[in-house]
Amino acid sequence: YCNGAVYNGDGRAIPVHDCKLDAYCELLEQLDGEHCLTFYGYQHDRDRILERLERYNKGRRDKLRVRVYRTAEDEAAWNAGEVEVLLVHPASCAYGLNLQAGGCHVVWYGLNWSFELNDQGNCRLYRQGSPYDRVFVHYLVVQGCQDKEVMEVIRERAGTHEAVMKAL
């Protein structure tokens, strides 16, 4: 429910709320055209974000260029600065993709329990060779729901990871 939709028994997404979509669009406004890599968790997240951004762009002169990562062409377009919003599932780009040249904002629309995917996802922008001094990571967290627990687990696992790395 945290992301705003659930799948029914037939595999169709049933919208429940738009809170995260609203917060996402507010964040994009605050970024004021700066590029952001957005991680989604479910196909319905991706579809609902695309639909909302299509509405967001209507009537705007400075339309956001939005793309879903699928191929090396999407990677190249992002790194060339041709895309303001690149939607990515973390499992599809956690390793091996060099996305550091396209922007300095990571947005986690869909949270997941995997510290490794979270860490590797953030490292798509935060890596050697980036033209940016800093990377900003934004988590969209629904208060009073499972999202808060996911964030606590990620922080705990990050602490464990750091302790292991120091020990090594």
Q: Kindly state the helix (H) or strand (E) to which residue 116 belongs, with its residue range.
A: helix 115-122
Q: Scan for tokens 């991680």, then name that residue.
A: 39
Whether 158 shows a pLDDT value over 70: the answer reads no
Question: Which among 156, 164, 73 is positioned nearest to 118, based on CA atoms?
Answer: 156
Tokens of 64: 């956001």
Assign 68 to helix, strand or coil: strand
Whether 24 shows a pLDDT value over 80: the answer reads yes
Tokens of 36: 């952001």
User: Residues 18-34: what's their mean pLDDT?
Assistant: 95
143 Cβ contact list (under 8 Å, min separation 6): none
CA–CA gap between residue 107 and residue 99 (Å, rounded):
14
pLDDT confidence tier of residue 61, bands split at 50, 70 and 90: confident
pLDDT confidence tier of residue 163, bands split at 50, 70 and 90: low
Amino acid at 122: N
User: Residues 40-45: what's their mean pLDDT?
Assistant: 95
Whether 159 shows a pLDDT value over 70: the answer reads no
**More confident call, 161 vs 51:** 51
Read off the pLDDT of residues 63-102 as tens digits, 9 standing for 90 and up: 999 999 999 999 999 999 999 999 999 998 867 788 989 9
Read off the pLDDT of residues 110-127 as tens digits, 9 standing for 90 and up: 998 888 888 888 888 887
Q: pTM of the prediction? A: 0.90
Q: pLDDT value at position 128?
A: 76
